[in-house]
Structure 1
Amino acid sequence: MNGTELVAPDAGALHAFGVGAFMPVPLTGGRGLTWRAGGVVLRPHDGPAVTDWRADLLADLEHSAGFRTPRPVATHDGSWRSGDWEAWEFVAGRADESRVEDVVQAGRAFHRAVAGVDRPAFLGTASTTGAATDPWARADRMAWGEEPLPTDPTLDRLAASFRPVHSPSQLVHGDLLGNVLFAEGSAPTIIDWPPYWRPAAFGTAIAAVDAVCWHGVAVERLDTLGAGEPEWRQLLVRALAFRIATLHLLGAWDATSVGRHRPVIDAVC
């Protein structure tokens, strides 16, 4: 599975997760790799270390009025994986990137709930054995000075604005904006958690810059979105560096991307 083809879960995976009687239907989002079969959502897993750790944690994480998460679905033999696939309960709701304040509030509730969880071994530095090498993990380390940034005038400008950040690190959801589902009468549902080990407000900063750069939110709202967050401007700088470095590593940093990001960089630098 190369991540670019629309490949449905195989019959073995469907049977293992108890939905062999259902025809899988592709879902929007999830990079086009997520499928629903009955009351279960299947997606390619992220490897044993990340997948099993995340499922173990979210299976028992206490929800609140501020957020909920889907519960993982185990196979018949008690595993969180079958072949290339993992499974989660289907939770109704839709993402709405225009509701950025609500996304931020749900993210804060989630981060409070996981604040006491220890750092998992797979969230290491570039020199750590087994550290992730995907573009997102590498870009995160670049934004925090743990790997060199790509050579680029925009990133040079952001790097010149880097200052030490003293807020404590914890588990963070690094892609909140499009991964909070809203449904009438229910707490917001946080899905597709890519974990990072950074200050909690870094997740808020990423959501804020995504909203302004890609979803038409006014740049003047940046400070309001981070009201009360310590070191907010510095976290915005790091969030921009993270997103731009990711685009570089994916080969997607082009003139359109420069134009989308320039007003935000002008505001925070």
Structure 2
Amino acid sequence: MTLSGKTLFITGGSRGIGQAIALRAARDGANVIIAAKTAEPHRTLPGTIYTVAEEVEAAGGRALPVVLDVRDADAIEAAVNAAVAKFGGIDVCVNNASAIDLSQSLDIDVKRFDLIHQINVRGTFLVSRACIPHLRKSENPHILAMSPPLDLRPEWLGAHLGYSMSKFGMTMVMMGMANEFQSDSIACNTLWPRTTIATAAVEFALGGEAMLRQSRTPQIMADAAYAIITKPAKSFTGHCLVDDSVLRDEGVIDFDCYAAAPGNPLMADIFIDPATV
């Protein structure tokens, strides 16, 4: 099964993991909606919805760049309607848009707390819900969220409670919808990286160059996402998945090609037991 002729609605697609997923789908000849806030070049971060759209079409796909803030319910409906008007439907919804703040409970600003929950949990719920009427018409409908397994260890909650709640909330949306829409054969799953991923968020907001050198490239998430959304939706739903485990099940045994800086030790991502890296 490939994504040829399929339509993907990807939030947060202007850079990083969302961009990588878009380009992987484009190589199959997919239609890709790049829905993100970045319409103008950022002073430090690369990529806009328009530059990714150009890359998608250069890779063999068709693109629709859409300016979207996933906190805006009306804008979500308008973006989904625009996608359906252009491509005739939606086959895959990828909830990649996310906000991060690792502050502890007494330190996090209330506005930042609200922001990460509005984007991560509420945004995932609203985008998924808006796509479902169209996914019901697809031959192989999938919803995929970039969120962690539901490992409710006290140390994950205590380290950054606000952020942990928001990411686990995304996973709960997927697990709930997997059950709710099972009769519609809409697959709902989550995907999370084993290691930190070499994105702008890691470089500029978390660990700088040192963390980048201990990360894998976004391509590993794109390849794992591709493996998930090309599976039969009827029989593959309700799973909390980790990128390299997905690829091992696909027969991948060499992961060196995904290292951002080959030869350096890898760093476990948040919500992942370091002993498994």
TM-score (norm 2): 0.30
TM-score (norm 1): 0.31
Tell me which structure has the larger Cα radius of gyration.
1
